[in-house]
Amino acid sequence: MSIRIQRSHATVKDLSRRLQHAYQRDEVRWVRRTTVLIDLLVPHVPVEVLGARWGLSISCISPWRQAFLLQGRDSVPSHHGGGRRPQLTPRQKKRLVELIAAGPLVVGCETAGWTSVLIRVLLWREVGVLYNCQDGCTLLHNWGFALHKARLVSEPLETAKRLAWLAQQGPTILRAAKRRQGLLLFEEEASCAPWGALRDTWARRGQPPEVPTRGKRTGSTVFGAIAYCSGRRFSQGIAGRLNAESSQAFFHMILAQTTQPLCVIHDGAR
Protein backbone atom coordinates (compact mmCIF):
# COMPACT_ATOMS: atom_id res chain seq x y z
CA MET A 1 0.00 0.00 0.00
CA SER A 2 1.43 3.40 -1.01
CA ILE A 3 1.22 6.37 1.38
CA ARG A 4 0.60 9.83 0.00
CA ILE A 5 1.30 12.73 2.38
CA GLN A 6 -0.90 15.79 2.00
CA ARG A 7 1.15 18.93 2.03
CA SER A 8 0.39 22.49 3.04
CA HIS A 9 2.08 25.74 2.12
CA ALA A 10 3.20 26.34 5.71
CA THR A 11 4.74 22.86 5.93
CA VAL A 12 6.71 23.21 2.69
CA LYS A 13 7.86 26.73 3.66
CA ASP A 14 9.05 25.56 7.09
CA LEU A 15 10.90 22.59 5.61
CA SER A 16 12.60 24.89 3.08
CA ARG A 17 13.72 27.13 5.93
CA ARG A 18 15.12 24.17 7.86
CA LEU A 19 16.91 22.99 4.72
CA GLN A 20 18.55 26.39 4.32
CA HIS A 21 19.74 26.33 7.94
CA ALA A 22 21.16 22.84 7.45
CA TYR A 23 23.10 24.05 4.40
CA GLN A 24 24.49 27.03 6.34
CA ARG A 25 25.61 24.79 9.21
CA ASP A 26 27.02 22.20 6.79
CA GLU A 27 24.98 19.43 8.43
CA VAL A 28 24.93 16.91 5.60
CA ARG A 29 22.63 14.36 7.18
CA TRP A 30 19.89 16.92 7.88
CA VAL A 31 20.24 18.31 4.35
CA ARG A 32 19.68 14.83 2.96
CA ARG A 33 16.76 14.02 5.26
CA THR A 34 14.98 17.34 4.67
CA THR A 35 15.46 17.09 0.91
CA VAL A 36 13.98 13.58 0.87
CA LEU A 37 10.91 14.75 2.80
CA ILE A 38 10.42 17.74 0.49
CA ASP A 39 10.59 15.40 -2.53
CA LEU A 40 7.99 13.15 -0.89
CA LEU A 41 5.66 16.12 -0.31
CA VAL A 42 5.94 18.37 -3.35
CA PRO A 43 6.63 16.29 -6.48
CA HIS A 44 5.60 13.04 -4.70
CA VAL A 45 8.72 11.19 -5.85
CA PRO A 46 8.46 7.45 -5.08
CA VAL A 47 10.50 6.09 -2.22
CA GLU A 48 12.34 3.70 -4.53
CA VAL A 49 13.47 6.55 -6.77
CA LEU A 50 14.66 8.62 -3.79
CA GLY A 51 16.56 5.62 -2.42
CA ALA A 52 18.39 5.15 -5.71
CA ARG A 53 19.06 8.89 -6.02
CA TRP A 54 20.58 9.28 -2.55
CA GLY A 55 22.03 5.80 -2.14
CA LEU A 56 19.59 5.00 0.69
CA SER A 57 17.57 1.90 1.40
CA ILE A 58 13.80 1.88 1.85
CA SER A 59 14.30 0.79 5.47
CA CYS A 60 16.16 4.08 6.04
CA ILE A 61 13.61 6.38 4.38
CA SER A 62 10.54 4.71 5.87
CA PRO A 63 11.32 5.72 9.51
CA TRP A 64 11.79 9.32 8.33
CA ARG A 65 8.39 9.29 6.68
CA GLN A 66 6.77 7.59 9.69
CA ALA A 67 8.30 10.11 12.12
CA PHE A 68 7.03 12.96 9.94
CA LEU A 69 3.50 11.49 9.94
CA LEU A 70 3.52 11.21 13.75
CA GLN A 71 5.45 14.34 14.79
CA GLY A 72 5.12 16.62 11.80
CA ARG A 73 7.76 19.27 11.20
CA ASP A 74 9.24 18.69 14.65
CA SER A 75 10.74 15.42 13.40
CA VAL A 76 13.23 17.51 11.38
CA PRO A 77 15.13 19.81 13.78
CA SER A 78 16.52 23.05 12.42
CA HIS A 79 19.87 22.45 14.14
CA HIS A 80 21.89 19.62 15.57
CA GLY A 81 21.27 19.32 19.30
CA GLY A 82 23.22 16.14 20.00
CA GLY A 83 26.55 15.61 21.67
CA ARG A 84 27.63 15.71 25.27
CA ARG A 85 27.83 18.87 27.29
CA PRO A 86 31.10 20.79 26.74
CA GLN A 87 33.58 20.72 29.59
CA LEU A 88 34.62 24.35 29.10
CA THR A 89 32.45 27.41 29.53
CA PRO A 90 32.58 30.23 26.95
CA ARG A 91 34.52 32.39 29.43
CA GLN A 92 37.08 29.63 30.02
CA LYS A 93 37.42 29.07 26.28
CA LYS A 94 38.02 32.78 25.66
CA ARG A 95 40.64 32.87 28.42
CA LEU A 96 42.48 29.83 27.05
CA VAL A 97 42.45 31.15 23.48
CA GLU A 98 44.03 34.42 24.67
CA LEU A 99 46.75 32.59 26.63
CA ILE A 100 47.58 30.21 23.78
CA ALA A 101 47.74 33.07 21.29
CA ALA A 102 50.06 35.03 23.62
CA GLY A 103 52.56 32.14 23.85
CA PRO A 104 54.02 29.93 26.58
CA LEU A 105 56.34 32.64 27.90
CA VAL A 106 53.35 34.61 29.15
CA VAL A 107 52.27 31.80 31.48
CA GLY A 108 55.77 31.23 32.88
CA CYS A 109 57.11 28.48 30.60
CA GLU A 110 60.77 28.44 29.61
CA THR A 111 60.07 27.76 25.93
CA ALA A 112 58.43 29.93 23.27
CA GLY A 113 56.63 27.11 21.46
CA TRP A 114 53.55 25.17 22.50
CA THR A 115 53.63 21.38 22.65
CA SER A 116 50.76 18.98 23.29
CA VAL A 117 52.12 18.30 26.78
CA LEU A 118 52.26 22.02 27.63
CA ILE A 119 48.72 22.48 26.31
CA ARG A 120 47.56 19.66 28.56
CA VAL A 121 49.26 21.25 31.58
CA LEU A 122 47.74 24.64 30.72
CA LEU A 123 44.21 23.21 30.55
CA TRP A 124 44.64 21.46 33.88
CA ARG A 125 46.15 24.49 35.62
CA GLU A 126 43.71 27.08 34.28
CA VAL A 127 40.35 25.28 34.24
CA GLY A 128 40.98 22.00 36.07
CA VAL A 129 40.09 19.84 33.05
CA LEU A 130 42.42 16.97 32.14
CA TYR A 131 42.59 16.19 28.41
CA ASN A 132 44.84 13.65 26.77
CA CYS A 133 47.33 14.93 24.20
CA GLN A 134 45.24 13.90 21.19
CA ASP A 135 42.06 15.56 22.47
CA GLY A 136 44.05 18.68 23.28
CA CYS A 137 45.28 18.89 19.67
CA THR A 138 41.73 18.39 18.38
CA LEU A 139 40.54 21.15 20.70
CA LEU A 140 43.16 23.57 19.35
CA HIS A 141 42.21 22.68 15.78
CA ASN A 142 38.56 23.47 16.50
CA TRP A 143 39.60 26.81 18.01
CA GLY A 144 41.40 27.87 14.84
CA PHE A 145 44.98 26.89 15.72
CA ALA A 146 47.23 24.77 13.49
CA LEU A 147 50.69 23.18 13.56
CA HIS A 148 53.36 25.58 12.31
CA LYS A 149 57.11 25.62 11.94
CA ALA A 150 58.42 28.25 14.35
CA ARG A 151 60.75 30.95 13.08
CA LEU A 152 63.40 32.84 14.99
CA VAL A 153 63.11 36.59 15.41
CA SER A 154 65.49 39.01 17.04
CA GLU A 155 64.50 39.93 20.56
CA PRO A 156 64.21 43.72 20.80
CA LEU A 157 66.88 45.42 22.88
CA GLU A 158 65.99 47.53 25.85
CA THR A 159 65.11 50.98 24.57
CA ALA A 160 66.76 52.84 27.43
CA LYS A 161 70.13 51.08 26.99
CA ARG A 162 70.06 51.55 23.21
CA LEU A 163 69.33 55.28 23.49
CA ALA A 164 72.00 55.68 26.15
CA TRP A 165 74.61 54.05 23.90
CA LEU A 166 73.63 56.26 20.95
CA ALA A 167 73.78 59.39 23.10
CA GLN A 168 76.99 58.67 25.07
CA GLN A 169 79.24 55.82 23.94
CA GLY A 170 78.59 56.13 20.20
CA PRO A 171 79.68 59.78 19.84
CA THR A 172 82.69 59.18 22.12
CA ILE A 173 83.93 56.32 19.94
CA LEU A 174 83.35 58.35 16.77
CA ARG A 175 85.33 61.33 18.10
CA ALA A 176 88.20 59.06 19.14
CA ALA A 177 88.34 57.48 15.67
CA LYS A 178 88.38 60.87 13.95
CA ARG A 179 91.01 62.23 16.33
CA ARG A 180 93.35 59.33 15.51
CA GLN A 181 92.33 59.34 11.79
CA GLY A 182 91.36 55.71 12.12
CA LEU A 183 88.77 53.45 10.54
CA LEU A 184 85.59 53.01 12.59
CA LEU A 185 84.48 49.50 11.61
CA PHE A 186 81.30 47.62 12.41
CA GLU A 187 82.28 43.94 12.31
CA GLU A 188 80.16 40.79 12.23
CA GLU A 189 80.52 37.15 11.20
CA ALA A 190 78.17 34.45 9.98
CA SER A 191 78.34 30.68 9.62
CA CYS A 192 76.86 28.83 6.65
CA ALA A 193 75.98 25.13 6.71
CA PRO A 194 76.07 23.11 3.44
CA TRP A 195 72.92 21.14 4.31
CA GLY A 196 69.34 22.40 4.17
CA ALA A 197 67.02 23.04 7.09
CA LEU A 198 64.47 20.31 7.80
CA ARG A 199 60.85 21.33 8.26
CA ASP A 200 57.75 19.62 9.58
CA THR A 201 56.22 17.21 7.08
CA TRP A 202 53.58 14.48 6.95
CA ALA A 203 54.49 10.80 6.99
CA ARG A 204 53.13 7.51 8.32
CA ARG A 205 53.26 7.11 12.07
CA GLY A 206 56.47 5.44 13.18
CA GLN A 207 58.13 5.98 9.76
CA PRO A 208 59.94 9.33 9.76
CA PRO A 209 60.92 10.38 6.22
CA GLU A 210 64.55 10.54 5.15
CA VAL A 211 65.90 13.36 2.99
CA PRO A 212 69.02 12.40 0.97
CA THR A 213 71.84 14.92 1.14
CA ARG A 214 75.47 15.04 0.02
CA GLY A 215 76.48 17.79 2.39
CA LYS A 216 79.27 17.07 4.81
CA ARG A 217 79.13 18.07 8.46
CA THR A 218 81.41 21.03 7.86
CA GLY A 219 80.54 24.70 7.65
CA SER A 220 81.96 27.89 6.23
CA THR A 221 82.46 31.12 8.14
CA VAL A 222 82.42 34.59 6.63
CA PHE A 223 83.80 37.71 8.33
CA GLY A 224 82.64 41.14 7.26
CA ALA A 225 83.28 44.75 8.29
CA ILE A 226 82.13 48.10 7.00
CA ALA A 227 83.63 51.53 7.68
CA TYR A 228 81.22 53.98 9.30
CA CYS A 229 82.38 57.14 7.54
CA SER A 230 83.46 55.96 4.08
CA GLY A 231 81.39 52.80 3.62
CA ARG A 232 84.49 50.77 2.71
CA ARG A 233 83.89 47.04 3.07
CA PHE A 234 86.14 44.14 4.05
CA SER A 235 85.28 40.45 3.93
CA GLN A 236 87.03 37.11 4.32
CA GLY A 237 85.79 33.55 4.18
CA ILE A 238 87.40 30.65 6.06
CA ALA A 239 86.71 26.92 6.13
CA GLY A 240 87.49 26.38 9.79
CA ARG A 241 85.73 27.25 13.01
CA LEU A 242 84.96 30.69 14.33
CA ASN A 243 87.40 31.38 17.17
CA ALA A 244 89.94 33.91 18.38
CA GLU A 245 92.58 32.83 15.86
CA SER A 246 90.27 33.24 12.85
CA SER A 247 89.10 36.64 14.13
CA GLN A 248 92.70 37.84 14.52
CA ALA A 249 93.48 36.60 11.00
CA PHE A 250 90.62 38.72 9.66
CA PHE A 251 91.91 41.84 11.41
CA HIS A 252 95.43 41.17 10.10
CA MET A 253 93.93 41.01 6.60
CA ILE A 254 92.37 44.44 7.10
CA LEU A 255 95.62 45.90 8.49
CA ALA A 256 97.45 44.65 5.40
CA GLN A 257 95.16 46.86 3.25
CA THR A 258 95.32 50.09 5.25
CA THR A 259 97.75 52.07 7.35
CA GLN A 260 95.04 53.64 9.50
CA PRO A 261 94.44 52.40 13.05
CA LEU A 262 91.30 50.31 13.54
CA CYS A 263 88.47 51.10 15.92
CA VAL A 264 86.14 48.10 15.85
CA ILE A 265 82.60 47.80 17.17
CA HIS A 266 81.95 44.07 17.51
CA ASP A 267 78.60 42.56 18.46
CA GLY A 268 79.00 40.22 21.43
CA ALA A 269 82.78 40.59 21.69
CA ARG A 270 84.34 38.96 24.73
Is residue 151 scored above 80 in pLDDT? no
142 or 4, which is more confident: 142
Residue type, 178: K
Which stretch of 39-48, 213-222, 242-251, 257-266 has the lowest confidence by average pLDDT? 213-222
Q: Report if residue 189 sits inside a domain.
A: yes
Residue 260 maps to a domain: yes
* Of 151, 149, 153, residue with least CA distance to 199: 149
Query: Both 96 and 35 in a single domain?
Result: no
91-110 pLDDT per residue, tens: 888 888 888 888 887 888 77
Looking at the fold, whether 227 and 186 belong to one and the same domain comes out as: yes
Residue 172 has pLDDT above 80, yes or no: yes
Burial pattern 74-94, b for ≥16 Cβ within 10 A else e, equals ebbbbeeeeeeeeebeeebee
The Cα–Cα gap between 144 and 170 comes to 47
From residue 143, alpha-carbon distances to 119, 131, 138, 139, 165 in Å are 13, 15, 9, 6, 45
Q: Does residue 214 carry a pLDDT above 70?
A: no
Over range 81-96, report the average pLDDT: 75
Q: Which domain holds residue 30?
A: 9-75
Task: Examine the domain organization and report whether 165 and 259 are in the same domain.
Answer: yes
Q: Do 186 and 222 have their domain in common?
A: yes
Phi, psi for 134 (deg, rounded to 5): -65, -45
Sign (positive/negative) of CA torsion 195, 196, 197, 200? negative
**For residues 163 and 206, what is the distance between their CA atoms, to the nearest angstrom?**
52
pLDDT for the residue numbered 218:
65
Same domain, 67 and 136: no
- Residue 174 or 267, more confident: 174
Confidence check: pLDDT of 116 > 50: yes
In a domain, 150, yes or no: no
Q: Greater confidence, 167 or 52?
A: 167
Task: Please check whether residues 176 and 245 belong to one and the same domain.
Answer: yes
Cα–Cα dist 107/152, whole Å: 20
Q: In terms of pTM, does the model score above 0.85?
A: no
The confidence score (pLDDT) of residue 1 equals 47
Q: Is residue 111 part of a domain?
A: yes
SS (H, E, C) the chain: CCCCCCCCHHHHHHHHHHHHHHHHCCCHHHHHHHHHHHHHHCCCCCHHHHHHHHCCCHHHHHHHHHHHHHHHHHHCCCCCCCCCCCCCCHHHHHHHHHHHHHCHHHHCCCCCCCCHHHHHHHHHHHHCCCCCHHHHHHHHHHCCCCCCCCCCCCCCCCHHHHHHHHHHHHHHHHHHHHHCCCEEEEEEEEEECCCCCCCCCCCCCCCCCCCCCCCCCCCEEEEEEEECCCCCEEEEEECCCCCHHHHHHHHHHHHCCCCCCEEEEECCCC
Considering only residues 23 and 132, tell me which one the structure prediction assigns the higher pLDDT.
132
